Chains A and B, each alone.
Chain A
Amino acid sequence: MREHGHATHLAWGWLAAALALGAAPVVGAEPAGAGLPPLRWAADAEGGAPYIFNNPKDVNQYIGFEVDLARLLENELGRRIEFHQYAFKSLVAGLKRGDFDFAMNGLEITPDRLKAILFSRPYYIYSLQLVARADEQRFHSLAECPKAGVVVGTLEDTAAERLLDQMKIPKKIYDSQVEPYKDLGIGRIDAVLLDLPIAVYYARPDPKLKFVGPTVGEGYYAIGFRKDRRELAEQFDAALLRLAQRGDLRRVYEKWGIWNKDQEKLAQGEQINDVLRESGRLWTLGVYFPMLLDGARETIRITFCGMLLAMAIGLPVALGRLYGPLPVRAMATIYVEFFRGIPVLLLLYFLYYGLPEIAATWELRFSLRLGPIQAAVLGFGLNYAAYEAEIYRAGIRSIPVGQWEAAASLGMSRLLTFRRIILPQAVRVILPPMTNDLVALFKDTSVVSVIAVVELTKQYQILAKSSLKYLEIGLATAALYLIMSVPLGHLSRYLEKRWGRGT
């Protein structure tokens, strides 16, 4: 990142000149852009503070430095700006689709995005802040991290992630900016590297955490436009430059506590140049496919371990429901109803984020801190066990009572009868629907990205966002899913045909 900063100064000079000539008359002549429809601004309020978020005092209202900035731009452009909620991950795709006029949401200028969309001049120059637990002694800067062998959390597809990759520091990728600090607090990871505004807002107030070392790297938040909206982009450029030179930006940033010396460059009339673009990697099949395979391996692991666990828990639950005394029967029924009735996503959140909190609240001697894979396998195991229990139960009940009687008349005990006569027959009824569930579970595993597991779907999201090849990599991902799930489906139908005949 640093070297880009130096290399770009030359180019910024003439761009600034071009802007000064081209941009000034556009806005100056039209005081009120009257008659034009409002500009549609997309951002993700879920992304959080301090960019744009729900006002805790009035949740129907949005606040944040980008909201303030949007108001300044409204005045400057003489046009109303309308906020539209849009998933951060899809902002670039949404721009390309033409769902809105511009995206302003801490969107960094990256080589890959430059290929896809147009950026305004930066409105904020951010750096990255390393945060660790207050009692951390093993490292005192990002540079010491590789030696200390620590794991650093960050958000995916950010400058921070790329910097960690460059320095070969083990990383853990999160979806939103709250979770990494949470995991840091409970010790799942050793540090968090994120944009300074995020650190200022989420980590600084937390007494358990501390800032480590100076800020590193440098990146630019800019407003994104569709490629063919160059004229609009130039209006924004001129407006932003005026806001910076008049000190309006500084006032906003000081209000939100994110002003620093770096921001002085914003008023220098410089422009980011295209050097960034050249460093863009070419995402070919050979580059992304091995990464997809890594994701697929994780998907398979979670699927099979989860299913084995579900089958192991499901059998005693089914037997409890069928043959247990009343209290056991009731407990087994509650188990089935409970785990069938709650979304697996909620269960995963609880196991991964909730359990450690319980341990902390009750001051248990053990931490209850599950790894992401463990939490995923346990979550799916518990959830699917409810379904498998019902499949076992239906399978066992499908065996006529006469079989029990015939075995009893031969002097066989109930346990022996179950093991030797009932179960072997029930398996033929049980296996086809169970194989079906295996296919379902296989696809359900795509939700585990919420607990920081990078499986096939998550890997796809990451790659697609980095490369903007949503379609191509999407097709490759779908092909991988199909290669695995179609044979399983056939196995299920084969078993049904082979064993469905019964006596």
Chain B
Amino acid sequence: MNESLPVVIDNLGKRFGPRVVLDGVSLAVAAHETVAIIGPSGGGKSTLLRCVNGLAGFDQGQIRVGPYTLGPGTNHQRASGVRHVRRLLGMIFQDFQLFPHLTALENVIEAPLHVLKQPRAQARRRGLELLARVGLADRAEAHPRELSGGQKQRVAIARALAMDPRGLLCDEITSALDPELKSEVLTVLEALKRDGLTLLVVTHEMGFARRAADRVVVLDEGRIIEDGPPGQVLDHPQMPRTQRFLSQVLA
């Protein structure tokens, strides 16, 4: 499994009270593959990612990440599978969620130090490398409040990479950014794809989906209504709902 990390989502169902959020979602992601998940808001995109990471439980179906399986139930946080899955898949949030009391570098090395128990010198060296990789070598000692949104998001990416994941779950990671700052984050993401990380990207950036994604998936009302290469889904959508959605986004 070393080189391959298939993520298999099988017939996933979840409801909040009477509202069905995920309605039998099945999705297989191959190793090194980049999948863009698009669709109208409220369609269940973020919930799907949070289920994969164990931040949210679900009511039916299962999720396999490499050798580990997550089953239904609300006590997901405690299931031992969740811990393993989180080691394999990092997560980036729309609102960054950097730790405000720590510097950029401290944010990056917090988990390596206290979860992986790495020696401080080693964690620092690796942390500085990662910050350099996202273009922030000179901001290592800055606190989050001193960073721009784009810089914050790049620190968050470095922080996730510090745990050496095989893949990243990206939840609308450019939505909170000004247009001119979006590209610096997306550029980093494209570089990660070239490095072979498996990426599940919930996004509204159609340009990025077209450029970087191997596959585009449209999630609407808790169901996958379209799934194929970007050229096909974005230029020749089959479903009327997809067409309407795309015309709104691209307008």
Residues of A bordering B, CB below 8 Å: 400, 402-403, 405-412, 414, 416, 420-421, 424-425, 428, 501-503
In the complex, the answer to whether A503 meets B144 with C-beta atoms within 8 Å is yes
Q: Which 5 A-B pairs have the closest CB atoms?
A: A406-B97, A503-B100, A410-B111, A409-B91, A402-B97
Chain B 99-131: CB-based contact to A (< 8 A → 1; otherwise 0)? 111000000001100110000000000000000
Q: What's the nearest-Cβ distance from chain A to residue B208, in Å?
A: 22
B86 touches A (CB below 8 Å): yes
Q: A402-B95, A416-B114 are in contact. Are A408 and B55 (CB under 8 A)?
A: yes
In the complex, the answer to whether B99 meets A421 with C-beta atoms within 8 Å is yes
Q: Which of A400, A411, A414 has the most CB of B within 10 A?
A: A411
Q: What's the nearest-Cβ distance from chain A to residue B139, in Å?
A: 16
In the complex, the answer to whether A402 meets B93 with C-beta atoms within 8 Å is yes
**Interface contact tally, CB-CB below 8 A:** 62
Return 9 A-B CB contacts under 8 Å, by A number: A406-B97, A407-B99, A408-B77, A409-B55, A409-B90, A410-B86, A424-B101, A502-B100, A503-B100
In the complex, the answer to whether A405 meets B163 with C-beta atoms within 8 Å is no
Residues of B bordering A, CB below 8 Å: 53-55, 77, 83, 86-87, 90-91, 93, 95, 97-101, 110-111, 114-115, 144-145, 156, 159-160, 163
Bound Cα distance A414, B101 (Å): 18
Bound Cα distance A425, B99 (Å): 9
In the complex, the answer to whether B93 meets A503 with C-beta atoms within 8 Å is no
Q: A416-B114, A503-B144 are in contact. Are A411 and B163 (CB under 8 A)?
A: yes
Residue on A with the closest CB to B87? A411
A501 neighbours in B (Cβ, 8 Å)? 145
Apart from A410-B110, A502-B100, 5 more pairs, CB < 8 Å: A403-B97, A403-B99, A409-B86, A420-B110, A428-B101
Bound Cα distance A501, B160 (Å): 26
Bound Cα distance A503, B163 (Å): 24
Q: What's the nearest-Cβ distance from chain B to residue A497, in Å?
A: 15
A403 neighbours in B (Cβ, 8 Å)? 97, 99
Bound Cα distance A412, B93 (Å): 16
In the complex, the answer to whether A409 meets B77 with C-beta atoms within 8 Å is no
Q: Which of A410, A416, A420, A428 contacts B159 (CB 8 A)?
A: A410
Q: A420-B110, A503-B144 are in contact. Are A411 and B101 (CB under 8 A)?
A: no
In the complex, the answer to whether A405 meets B97 with C-beta atoms within 8 Å is yes
Residue on B with the closest CB to A409? B91
Q: What's the nearest-Cβ distance from chain B to residue A94, in Å?
A: 58
Q: What's the nearest-Cβ distance from chain A to residue B1, in Å?
A: 18
In the complex, the answer to whether A411 meets B115 with C-beta atoms within 8 Å is yes
A405 neighbours in B (Cβ, 8 Å)? 55, 93, 97
B97 neighbours in A (Cβ, 8 Å)? 400, 402-403, 405-406
Residue on A with the closest CB to B100? A503
In the complex, the answer to whether A410 meets B100 with C-beta atoms within 8 Å is no
A428 neighbours in B (Cβ, 8 Å)? 101
Q: What's the nearest-Cβ distance from chain A to residue B165, in Å?
A: 10
Bound Cα distance A405, B54 (Å): 10
In the complex, the answer to whether A411 meets B99 with C-beta atoms within 8 Å is no
Bound Cα distance A410, B99 (Å): 12
Q: What's the nearest-Cβ distance from chain B to residue A431, in Å?
A: 13
Bound Cα distance A409, B95 (Å): 14
Bound Cα distance A428, B101 (Å): 10
B54 neighbours in A (Cβ, 8 Å)? 408
In the complex, the answer to whether A409 meets B115 with C-beta atoms within 8 Å is no
Q: Which of A409, A421, A424 contacts B53 (CB 8 A)?
A: A409
Bound Cα distance A502, B101 (Å): 9
Residue on A with the closest CB to B152? A503
Q: A411-B83, A412-B114, A420-B114 are in contact. Are A406 and B99 (CB under 8 A)?
A: yes
Q: What's the nearest-Cβ distance from chain B to residue A231, in Å?
A: 77
Q: Which of B55, B110, B145, B160 contacts A503 (CB 8 A)?
A: B145
In the complex, the answer to whether B115 meets A406 with C-beta atoms within 8 Å is no
A416 neighbours in B (Cβ, 8 Å)? 114-115
In the complex, the answer to whether A410 meets B145 with C-beta atoms within 8 Å is no
Bound Cα distance A104, B232 (Å): 106
Bound Cα distance A501, B146 (Å): 12
A424 neighbours in B (Cβ, 8 Å)? 101
In the complex, the answer to whether A406 meets B163 with C-beta atoms within 8 Å is no
A412 neighbours in B (Cβ, 8 Å)? 110-111, 114-115
Q: What's the nearest-Cβ distance from chain B to residue A477, in Å?
A: 42
Q: What's the nearest-Cβ distance from chain A to residue B64, in Å?
A: 19
Q: A424-B101, A503-B100 are in contact. Are A406 and B93 (CB under 8 A)?
A: yes
Bound Cα distance A402, B46 (Å): 14
Q: What's the nearest-Cβ distance from chain B to residue A401, in Å?
A: 10
B159 neighbours in A (Cβ, 8 Å)? 410
Q: What's the nearest-Cβ distance from chain B to residue A408, in Å?
A: 7
In the complex, the answer to whether A410 meets B115 with C-beta atoms within 8 Å is yes
Bound Cα distance A407, B163 (Å): 12
Bound Cα distance A420, B115 (Å): 11
B95 neighbours in A (Cβ, 8 Å)? 402
B100 neighbours in A (Cβ, 8 Å)? 425, 502-503
Bound Cα distance A503, B54 (Å): 27
Q: Which of B99, B110, B145 has the most CB of A within 10 A?
A: B99
Q: What's the nearest-Cβ distance from chain A to residue B214, in Å?
A: 24
Bound Cα distance A503, B155 (Å): 15
Q: Which of A400, A402, A409, A421 contacts B160 (CB 8 A)?
A: A409
A407 neighbours in B (Cβ, 8 Å)? 99, 111
A425 neighbours in B (Cβ, 8 Å)? 99-101
Q: What's the nearest-Cβ distance from chain B to residue A432, in Å?
A: 16
Q: What's the nearest-Cβ distance from chain B to residue A325, in Å?
A: 14
B145 neighbours in A (Cβ, 8 Å)? 501, 503
A406 neighbours in B (Cβ, 8 Å)? 91, 93, 97-99, 156
Bound Cα distance A439, B77 (Å): 42
Bound Cα distance A414, B77 (Å): 9
Bound Cα distance A421, B98 (Å): 10
Q: Which of A403, A410, A416 has the most CB of B within 10 A?
A: A410
Q: What's the nearest-Cβ distance from chain B to residue A232, in Å?
A: 74
Bound Cα distance A394, B123 (Å): 34
B98 neighbours in A (Cβ, 8 Å)? 406
A400 neighbours in B (Cβ, 8 Å)? 97
Bound Cα distance A501, B100 (Å): 11
Bound Cα distance A269, B142 (Å): 92
A503 neighbours in B (Cβ, 8 Å)? 100, 144-145
Residue on B with the closest CB to A413? B115
A411 neighbours in B (Cβ, 8 Å)? 83, 86-87, 111, 115, 163
